Amino acid sequence: MTKRILALALVAGCGTDSAPTGDDDASPPPTYWQDVEPLFYTNCKSCHTAGGIGPFAIDDPAAAIAYAPLIAAQVSAKTMPPWPPGGDTPPLLHARTLTQTQIDTIAAWAAGGAQLGDPTNQQPHQEPEVIDIGPTELGFDIGVDYVPDTSLSDDYNCFLADLGTTSLRMATGFRVTPGNRAIVHHVIVGLFDGADRDALVALDAQTPNRAGWPCVGGLVPAGTAARQVGSLGAWVPGVSAVAFPTGTGNPIPAGAVAVIQMHYNLRGGSDPDRTRVDVALAPAADNATLVPLGGVGLIKHDLYIPANTTPVAFEQSLTVSQWRALRGLAPFASGHGYALGAGGHMHYIGHRITVTRTNASGTSTLLDIPAWSFHWQGQYQYVSPIQIDNTDTLAIRCEYDNSDANRLALGLTPNMTVTWGEGTEDEMCLGGLQVVERLP
């Protein structure tokens, strides 16, 4: 949010209690209590509330009225609620989107003077979606009361956590509880081989003046002698929990350790955080009955993005069998598996990321994020599984905007050539599918 937009929003919010003038026969404009507050309650309040990650409390009528022009602009542009997938992406579960009618109602409310309405005649609310993962058996946190680095606007820091598992367990979901909701922007949890714990401890020790280690590009820097053996997944504000598809589970090997990537947005202050993760585990006796979740990854390494250029695009493709062979895996035994979800990763100057599948029937989109934002990353689950054959060709396309105008808008150094790397101003091009060998 620029200072100019914020100033305009505040000025435009002054004096909005007065009734609009115009044609007496026109329908009255929407009001806060009767029309838009129920929409805010269901779709926005989980972040935009006192102490939340949102920059203002949308459940505070005075704040909502003051920010009405900005709210209308954001929802009309579909940048809020944050839901990056678009284009031809297959239908996804747990979508955080507004209907066009809801968007039009909010826009009409702002245009009509952001009327308050009658607080004694509030309309019924639809409760936000709550994902129930059931009881949890495994819990851990980041290990310290972490004070973010105030020299940064966004602090990406990773922490090592011991899990204490002595046998293989299958996770069926997880819940994240931020210690400081005002700054926790997203959480990613990766699983590493317990035999590599010492290498991760040594990585932590490289920054003796702060807990954990900085990790903008990935969970561990390239060259770290630690092997990732799995992942719980990603969490973002507004999500009550992450549940894996029914009948599936994420394997947690015996003795595995977790690396927790925390993204702190310092717009919410710099008070300490101690975020906690709780994991639902299937009974050990059910391990054999659950279908293990796996992945297929796509990486384009050799990136070279000249200074002050846009758009610049890179592609990488391979068949499913080729990818599995690269990982030392046999092709799907039945000739095919199923994709249950997808995700992607770029850095700041990423503009668009697309994952496609090509076979005899043509090319179809598996994930399209047409307006990439580094700060709104996630993993997405399909409403219906998508069959993926061994002979299918999977492709990733990453587009970048390395223009000086874009770099300055993002607070980056202008006139820089960008290549692959882990650093803040380097770039990446990663895509992945969550897959199973068979349907549960």
Taking Cα atoms as reference points, which of 258, 251, 254 lies closest to residue 277?
258
Tell whether the model's pLDDT for residue 104 goes beyond 60: yes
Q: List the alpha helices (DSSP H) in 13-67.
A: 37-43, 61-66
Domains 138-290 and 293-436 share a fold: yes
Residue 73 phi, psi (nearest 5) = -65, -40
pLDDT recorded at residue 29: 92
Give residue for tokens 């709210």.
71
Tell me which architecture the domain covering 138-290 has in CATH: Sandwich (2.60)
The set of residues, in sequence order, having a beta carbon less than 8 Å from that of 220 and lying 6+ positions away, is 158, 200, 203, 226, 228, 259
- Report the DSSP beta bridge partners of residue 418: 305
Evaluate the CA torsion angle 112, 114, 118, 124 in order and state its sign. positive
Q: List the alpha helices (DSSP H) in 152-291.
A: 197-205
Containing 105, the helix (H) or strand (E) segment is helix 100-111
pLDDT recorded at residue 376: 87
Evaluate the CA torsion angle 93, 128, 181, 170 in order and state its sign. negative
pLDDT recorded at residue 10: 26
Report the predicted TM-score, pTM, of the whole model to 2 decimal places: 0.85
Tens-place pLDDT, residues 157-175: 999 999 999 999 999 999 9
The dotted CATH code for 293-436 is 2.60.120.230
Report the alpha-carbon distance of residue 14 to residue 62 in Å, rounded: 10
- Report the DSSP beta bridge partners of residue 395: 317, 356
Tens-place pLDDT, residues 42-99: 999 999 999 999 999 999 999 999 999 999 999 999 999 999 999 899 999 999 899 9
Going across the sheet that includes 154-162, the strands are 213-214, 154-162, 257-265, 184-192, 228-235
Taking Cα atoms as reference points, which of 174, 341, 338, 140 lies closest to residue 243?
174
pLDDT recorded at residue 438: 95
Burial class (CB in 10 A: 0-12, 13-18, 19+), 73: middle
Report the alpha-carbon distance of residue 74 to residue 348 in Å, rounded: 20
Domain ranges of the chain: 3-111, 138-290, 293-436
